Structure 1
Amino acid sequence: MIPSLFTPLATSRAGRTLCRAALLFVPLASARANAQGTAPRITEQQSGVTQLIQAVHATSANVVWASGPGGVVLRTLDGGTTWQRRMTPAGDSLQFRDVHAINADTAWVLSIGNGTASRIYRTSDGGSTWALQFINRDSAAFYDCLSFGNSREGLVFGDATAGRTHILRTTNGGGTWTLLPESVVPAPLPSEGAFAASGLCVAHANARTAYVATGAPGARLFKSTNAGATWSVLETPFVRGTVAGLTGVSFIGDRGVAVAADINRLRTDTSTKVVGITTDGGRTWTLGNRPPLPGSLSGVSWVPGAGNNTIVAVSYGGAFYSTSAGREWTTFANVVTTGVSAIDRTVWVGGEKGRIWRLDFPAATR
């Protein structure tokens, strides 16, 4: 939805690159977090590109994929010490707002835009070659985010058009994508869609349970418990408006965290009701506090190996972590950040001008 609001801050025709990481001190780590031994070690990594890193997806402590505008697709096999650009057949003409990987070899990237700009590519050889699996032939449709529950079952959400909700589903690894019939998806609110901000408007809690976070004009959560075959609707207490609503979700079982934003105020948003926690699969929510810097929140992730309350959130004002389930926040970057993904105790964050951060949290105490 609304691609101009998430355009890159810098563009270039970067070629295939292989670059090394540099250590970054923890600039704004709280004394309390350090005293309690919960502050992460933070490393800024060199991606080799200058475009915005829009989405990030980690599959292990070593394998991470990232994507962004200008045809950017990146992969690391060593935890981010080196990043390599992987070129798709479209060159630098597409905005890859989302990436989902299974391992070092298999990944999908989603480009956004009206009509044929919305596409899905898949690689099974680590990005050496790509197959075009889907190209949008509906000139009014616009797809925002994708997620896979396993190597075969995946989902893509798109903005409503012609009075219907757009959810694509595959059960064969993307070999075919089917637009779900109106009878099994929620009827949309007028002009309801999602924000292609971080690739986190669609998320899986497990192989069978998936969520779609919507915005503009509502802030609804669509939920499926049968791998996307049918869907129900959950209402949420988050900020909503003409260009406001949910921007990203992260679930581990029934425990979820969501962020929302007023997208009309990308750099200046100070809305409340933008962070929330659920422990019952989205039926009820407890609102937390917004992070300290202004700017629209674009994505969020649990850090599962760092305890039940550790979260990393990204925004157009900076990047933050909380070890108290969103009650208190520590700022570790004050520039545009949009992509975030966690594996065990390690988190990768992508942001403006090709910047990538790695956070290593201490192990949770039991």
Structure 2
Amino acid sequence: MNKLLFILSLLISVSCTSSGKFEARDITGVSITPMLEDSMSVRAIEIVSGKTLWFADDRGRYGYFDYKGSPVIDSVSYDTIVPHFRAIATNDNDVFLLGIGSPALLYKVEENGGAELVYRETHERAFYDAMKFWNEREGIAIGDPTESGCLSVLVTRNGGNSWSRIPCDKLPLAVEGEAAFAASNTNIDIIGDRTWIISGGLRSRVFYSPDKGNSWEVYNVPVVQGEPTLGMYSVDFWDKNTGIAIGGDYTRPEYNTANKAVTTDGGKSWKLVASKKPPGYRSCIQYIPGREGKEVIAVGFEGISFSRNGGSTWKPVSSEGFYTIRFLNDSVAYAAGKGKIAKLVLKQQKLP
């Protein structure tokens, strides 16, 4: 029996060692299967509990795909207002939806499928861009300034049941014309207690909190900026040190000068990569899970781009446009855009 247990443990050890070895690969294309096609715009998608895709659109609709891949859809309105959702988030217990424009409306999806309004803001300049949770109890949502001096930052400390704004005197000063883009719900990212927010427009910077929004610092980034449509649109961090951001100008999507940057010190300093080289404008960037921070996918309405060296060089893998993307694993992702939600499977080949 002891000998048998020894052999079994040895086999398990060998199997784990070989399966954990990183094997270089190239992505040669993407297989795209439509899941939902409609006259909608979807910039808010989230994978809940590691398997179920949720979404929200610009017509007050939200829902998920069941185990058969069929959409289960509900909708909400506030008086005569139909929310234009561009942010969705989960704390692993509940799903939350956040709309742009005024009044700002933040909903918690109830167990019966209905949606409860948990935050409302009536400032005429209210415009929230993205939302994410640190844990089951604490979450954050960010938006454009409604008064001179700071970005709009909401936090919850009770599981999303109520939200409050961080006072301006607790945040770094924003400059005139500095805001954020509600392009893909990815101008905010979280690793543990750490939080990064990217701004754009006349200034494009990184706002960083090491302690779940209790204190903040701000760092400059050498990306294109200085006009309302310029700057960073999306950021993703592989770990507490390694991150990547992308943007450009959606009105000039071919413009690729200084629109991609990476950091290796947690966002304190940034280095431009692939400047004056494709891709141009992209609205969402994500590290591919399980690929050691080397492989990155960026999507925009002009196509999908892939990097296998952390963003230093890129190649196009599809001309089909999307606004946002989330990965299920290292080969399968979900993406959404104008009139569609789709399942993407990466076509790959091993490299020597």
Q: TM-score, normalised by structure 1?
A: 0.80
- The CA distance in 1 between the partners of 2:69 and 2:165, in whole Å, is 40
1:26-69 per-residue CA deviation (whole Å, 9 max, x = no partner) reads xxxxxxxxx94545763323214331221221235521112221
Following superposition, the deviation at residue 87 of structure 1 comes to 2.2
Determine which of 185, 191, 203 is the counterpart of 2:189: 203
Task: Give the 4+ runs in structure 1 shifted more than 4 A.
Answer: 37-41, 89-92, 360-365
Tell me, in whole angstroms, the C-alpha distance in 1 between the residues paired with 2:261 and 2:217: 20
* Higher deviation after alignment, 229-238 or 280-289: 280-289
- 2:30–2:317 Cα contact (<8 Å) kept: no
Larger Cα Rg: Structure 1 or Structure 2?
A: 2
Whole-Å separation in 2 of the counterparts to 1:216 and 1:84: 37
Tell me the distance in 1 between the aligned counterparts of 2:45 and 2:157: 23
Q: Which has the higher strand share?
A: 2
Letter in 2 for 1:76: F
Match of 1:256 in 2: 243
1:88 partnered with 2:62:
no
* Contact 1:212 1:221 (8 Å CA) reproduced: yes
Query: Residue type matched to 2:169 in 1?
Result: S
SS, match of residue 160 in structure 1: coil
Structure 2 unaligned blocks of 5 or more: 1-23
Match of 1:327 in 2: 312
Match of 2:142 among 157, 161, 172: 157
Please provide the CA RMSD for this pair: 2.7
- Following superposition, the deviation at residue 330 of structure 1 comes to 3.3
Structure 1 distance, partners of 2:336, 2:323, is 6
Matched length: 323
Q: Is 2:197 the partner of 1:212? A: yes
- Do the aligned residues in 1 keep the contact of 2:100 with 2:128 (CA within 8 Å)? yes
Q: Is the contact made by 1:65 and 1:101 (CA closer than 8 Å) also made in structure 2?
A: no
2:232 equivalent among 246, 251, 265:
246
Q: Distance in 2 between matches of 1:257 and 1:361?
A: 23
Deviations along 1:269-323, whole A, 9 cap, x unmatched?
A: 41311112212111122322267465x3211111121332111111131122222
Counterparts of residues 94-133 of structure 1 (less than 5 Å): 94-103=83-92, 106-113=94-101, 115-116=102-103, 118-125=104-111, 128-133=113-118
* 1:147-193 deviation line (CA, Å, top 9, x unaligned): 11112111111111321311111111222211111221011111311
Q: Which amino acid aligns with 1:100?
A: A
How do 1:192-341 and structure 2 match up within 5 A?
192-206=178-192, 208-243=193-228, 244-253=230-239, 254-265=241-252, 268-289=253-274, 292=278, 294=280, 296-341=281-326
2:149–2:175 Cα contact (<8 Å) kept: no
Does 2:336 correspond to 1:353?
Answer: no
Corresponding position of 1:65:
54
Tell me the distance in 1 between the aligned counterparts of 2:318 and 2:133. Answer: 29
Q: TM-score, normalised by structure 2?
A: 0.83
Q: Percent identity?
A: 23
Q: Which amino acid aligns with 1:347?
A: A
Matches of 1:170 and 1:322, distance apart in 2 = 36
**Contact 1:250-1:257 within 8 A present in 2 as well:** yes
Q: How does 1:17-32 map to 2 (within 5 A)?
A: none
My pick for the range that moved more, 159-168 or 59-68, is: 59-68
CA deviation after TM superposition for structure 1 residue 360, in Å: 4.7
| Unmatched 5+ stretches in structure 1 | 1-34
> Which of residues 28, 42, 51 is equivalent to 1:53?
42
